[in-house]
């Protein structure tokens, strides 16, 4: 265990994710590598056009955990992590997790559609052409992903890409959704910097 913690510190892995995976009962938010807010504020609502047609509002997801991923077609780390987010969406969508991929390209819908088709994405791809959602979430770097709790409040965020569907992340989502070996998910605690 000590070796795993030292390895995590040296390699920069999130606490609780040692070489042998997260410790049983590890805080899922720490395993996910989230920066937690000092105070859990309500997530800004948005209503965006979906690439497949229609509109999707964050408020439509009340009662579910929601990952809101901000990305662009020109952002290589963004495009790299989209397939993992898509697998997470397919595997956990029926278990209480919604993944929304908010594209911030401006006026390049055809490019966004081509990327989504090439990657075989099935998760909702939303178009934030005007940048309002990006501005409301103070997105300064891409990718940026927010985790929003079932209560509609921001639980945390990650700047940069993440291995969303690796074994450690899946174990964390299992626990977060109350399906892990340790029973119900813990209540998120506020700490750290404000996302």
Q: Is residue 185 part of a domain?
A: no
In the block, residue with structure tokens 């000092």 = 38
Q: Is residue 83 part of a domain?
A: yes
Contacts of 146 (CB under 8 A, 6+ apart): 43, 67, 68, 137, 154, 155, 156, 157, 195
Instruction: Count the neighbouring beta carbons within 10 Å of the beta carbon of residue 31.
Output: 23
More confident position, 183 or 42: 42
Q: How many domains does the chain have?
A: 2
The separation between CA 131 and the C-alpha centre of its own chain, rounded to angstroms, equals 19
Answer yes or no: are the C-beta atoms of 101 and 85 closer than 8 Å.
yes
Q: Is residue 172 part of a domain?
A: no
Of the candidates 111, 69, 92, which has an alpha carbon nearest to the alpha carbon of residue 178? 92
Answer yes or no: are the C-beta atoms of 165 and 87 closer than 8 Å.
yes
The CATH number of whichever domain residue 68 belongs to comes to 3.40.30.10
pLDDT surpasses 90 at 133 = yes
Q: Is residue 60 part of a domain?
A: yes
In the block, residue with structure tokens 């929304």 = 100
Of the candidates 191, 176, 156, 155, which has an alpha carbon nearest to the alpha carbon of residue 27? 176
The confidence score (pLDDT) of residue 106 equals 84
Per-residue pLDDT tens over the stretch 13-38? 443 444 455 555 689 999 999 999 99
| Mean pLDDT, range 50-59, rounded to an integer | 96
Does one domain contain both 27 and 52?
Answer: no
pTM (predicted TM-score): 0.81
Q: How far apart are CA 143 and CA 164, in angstroms?
A: 13
Q: Is residue 161 part of a domain?
A: yes
Does one domain contain both 54 and 116?
Answer: yes
Q: How far apart are CA 154 and CA 151, in angstroms?
A: 9
Does one domain contain both 11 and 56?
Answer: no
Per-residue pLDDT tens over the stretch 90-115? 999 999 999 999 999 987 788 999 99
Domain coverage including residue 126: 34-165
Q: Is residue 182 part of a domain?
A: no
Does one domain contain both 82 and 155?
Answer: yes
Answer yes or no: are the C-beta atoms of 168 and 21 closer than 8 Å.
yes
């Amino acid at each position: 265990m000590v070796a795993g913690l030292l390895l995590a510190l040296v390699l920069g892995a999130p606490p609780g994710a040692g070489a042998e995976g997260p410790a049983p009962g590890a805080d899922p938010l720490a395993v996910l590598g989230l920066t937690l807010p000092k105070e859990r504020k309500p997530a800004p609502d948005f209503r965006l056009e979906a690439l497949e047609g229609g509109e999707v509002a964050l408020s439509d997801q009340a009662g579910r955990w929601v990952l809101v991923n901000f990305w662009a077609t020109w952002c290589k780390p963004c495009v790299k992590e989209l397939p993992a987010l898509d697998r997470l969406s397919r595997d956990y969508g029926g278990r209480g997790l919604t993944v929304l991929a908010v594209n911030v390209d401006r006026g390049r819908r055809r490019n966004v559609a081509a990327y989504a088709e090439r990657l075989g994405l099935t998760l909702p791809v939303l178009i934030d052409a005007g940048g309002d959602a990006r501005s409301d979430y103070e997105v300064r770097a891409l990718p940026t992903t927010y985790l929003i709790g079932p209560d509609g409040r921001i639980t945390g965020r990650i700047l940069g890409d993440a291995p969303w569907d690796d074994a450690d992340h899946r174990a964390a989502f299992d626990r977060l959704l109350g399906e892990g070996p340790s029973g119900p998910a813990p209540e998120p605690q506020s700490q750290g910097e404000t996302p």
